[in-house]
Chains A and B, each alone.
Chain A
Amino acid sequence: MHSTDDEVPESLRDHMERLRELPEVREAWRHDLLAAVARPDPASGRIVRMMGRRWSMNVGTGIAAAFVCAALGGLATRLVQHRESPSLASSPVSALVPATQAAQSDHALLHLELVAPTATSVSIVGDFNQWNPTSLPMRRAADGRTWEIEVRLEPGRHTYGFVVDGQLRQDPRAARSAGDDFGIPNSVLMVQRPVGAT
């Protein structure tokens, strides 16, 4: 099954090329990184991340901010406790996808991919962005074939589709909606509340 310490078992070899593909280094990500290291090291403070950017603050400001955040957090907790949890239908068909919980709420951050090697532009549209074809453009992955995006969605049922070179398309790997709107085939996904979310 596994002949030597350095050999990949034969049955796994077909997958190794895929696993060794290098992801795209986004220029914006590289720029943010180099900008962060070019700033002086805040020896007495910490780097915190807000909205994808790095911000630094000194200890005094940090302590003051902590008190303010604690007060606001307590208020927010009281408000959230009054919200009703959405009920989700169980289904025998399920798929785990890379997903992370948004920091500030019960929204889930979902990573979606579409394989469209010949497309020149792809965006995702759905009830979460009022079907606006320009608000959530997808980026081409390093393999040149796949388009990807991360979107934050509330737990519950969502309909969505992809706009490929100006044409609305159904997700080929998802299900079609039972209630297609205006004859346009939409895909459906159910987002479950992230484990541990309040």
Chain B
Amino acid sequence: MTDAALVRSALAGDHAAFATLVDRHAPVCLRYAKRMLGNIHDAEEVTQDTLIRVHRTLARYDESMSFRTWAMSILVNRCRSALLYRHRRTARIILDEEAVGRASVRSSSTDVDLRDAIDRALAKLEPVQREAFLLKHVELLSYEEMATMTDTGISALKMRVQRACDRLQVLLEEDRYA
């Protein structure tokens, strides 16, 4: 059954139809929000708010747009709002200096290092660059879809993606020698 058909069923009161939409799209929404916000806790909260909003405004869904694009456009805005408050919500962990000097067990897994490195680099990007990079290269959206959901021109989005890629490469290179 198509997303549009599921929306029609959900509007008619079929809760199972909406549950199917959740099962289809929640993983992708959570992935975007986690990468954008940096942790699964905030991602779950923002994604839940988004899908509740989607449910309440189902009647406004325009079938000329893909359901995913419509839901993601709400999610993108929710993530932007969440990031506005990020400066009040960021904490820092500092490893104890003396203990670091005595540490005998260190990470020897390059796989772990690689995973951490891209997370650290993503977190250092400007939010608009991170947003454009994730939508383009992780969510694999077209620039036309991105323009619709971000209310931003295509040329500006291309510039953001390119700058994000360039910056990520620099950050990853710096991380290798840190």
Please give me the residue from chain B that is nearest to A38 by CB atom. Answer: B15
With the chains together, A20 CA to B115 CA distance in Å?
12
> In the complex, are the beta carbons of B34 and A174 less than 8 A apart?
no
Smallest Cβ-Cβ distance to B37: which chain A residue: A98
Q: Which of under 10, 10 to 19, 20 to 34, or 35 or more describes the interface residues of A?
A: 35 or more
Residue ranges of A at the interface with B (Cβ–Cβ < 8 Å): 1-2, 5-6, 8-9, 11-12, 14-16, 18-23, 25-26, 29-30, 32-34, 36-38, 41, 47, 49, 88-101, 108-111, 115, 148, 150, 157, 170, 172-178, 185, 188-197
B126 within 8 A of A: no
Chain A contacts of B138 at CB under 8 A? 16, 19-20
A175 touches B96 (CB 8 A): yes
Q: Considering the chains assembled together, what is the distance between the CA atoms of A193 and B28 in angstroms? A: 33
| B-chain residues with CB within 8 Å of residue A177 when the two chains form the complex | 96, 99
A47 cross-chain contacts in B, Cβ below 8 A: 52
A residues less than 8 Å from B39 (CB atoms): 98-100, 111, 150
Question: Considering the complex, which residues of chain B in the window 73-120 have a beta carbon less than 8 Å from any beta carbon of chain A?
Answer: 87-100, 102-107, 109, 112, 114-115, 117-118, 120
A191 touching B99, Cβ below 8 Å: no
8 Å CB contact of B42 from A100, A170, A191: A100
Stretch from B1-9, B61-69, B165-173 that touches the partner = B165-173
Q: Give the nearest-CB partner of B40 in chain A.
A: A23
Contact B93 A26 (CB under 8 A): no
- In the complex, A149 Cα to B118 Cα: how many Å? 20
**How close is A100's CB to chain B, nearest CB, in angstroms?**
5
A32-B96 in contact given A5-B143, A23-B40, A41-B56 (Cβ < 8 Å): no
List 4 other contacts, CB 8 Å, given A5-B161, A97-B93. Answer: A1-B165, A25-B27, A94-B95, A191-B93
Say if the beta carbon of B48 comes within 8 Å of chain A.
yes
The answer to whether A91 touches B91 (Cβ under 8 A) is: no
Q: Which B residues lie at the A interface, using CB under 8 A? A: 15, 18-19, 22-23, 26-28, 30-31, 34-35, 37-45, 48, 51-52, 55-56, 87-100, 102-107, 109, 112, 114-115, 117-118, 120, 122-123, 134, 136-138, 143, 158, 161-162, 165-166, 168-169, 172
B contacts with A: majority SS: helix
Residues of A within 8 A of B18 (CB): 34, 37
A196 to B88, CA, bound (A): 5
Do residues B27 and A18 form an inter-chain contact, with CB atoms below 8 A? no
* Interface contact B27-A195, CB-CB below 8 Å: no
- Chain B residues in 8 Å Cβ range of A26: 44
In the complex, the answer to whether A190 meets B168 with C-beta atoms within 8 Å is no
Cβ contact within 8 Å between A98 and B22: no
Q: Which residues of A contact B137 (CB under 8 A)?
A: 8, 12, 16, 19
In angstroms, Cα B140 to Cα A19, docked, is: 12
A192 with B96: CB separation less than 8 A: no
Known contacts A11-B169, A95-B95, A176-B105, A109 near B31 by CB under 8 Å: no
A180 CB to nearest chain B CB (Å): 9
Name the distance in Å between A104's Cβ and chain B's nearest Cβ: 13
Q: Which residue of A lies closest to B109 (CB)?
A: A115
Q: Are A5 and B158 in contact (CB under 8 A)?
A: yes
Contact yes or no, A49 B90, CB < 8 A: no
Is B97 a contact of A91 with CB atoms below 8 Å? yes
Report whether B169 and A34 are in contact in the complex, using a CB–CB cutoff of 8 Å.
Answer: no
Do residues B100 and A91 form an inter-chain contact, with CB atoms below 8 A? yes
Contact of A101 among B56, B91, B106, B109 (CB under 8 A): B91
A175 touching B165, Cβ below 8 Å: no
Known A-B contacts A12-B165, A12-B168, A100-B42; A189 and B95 likewise in contact (beta carbons under 8 Å): yes
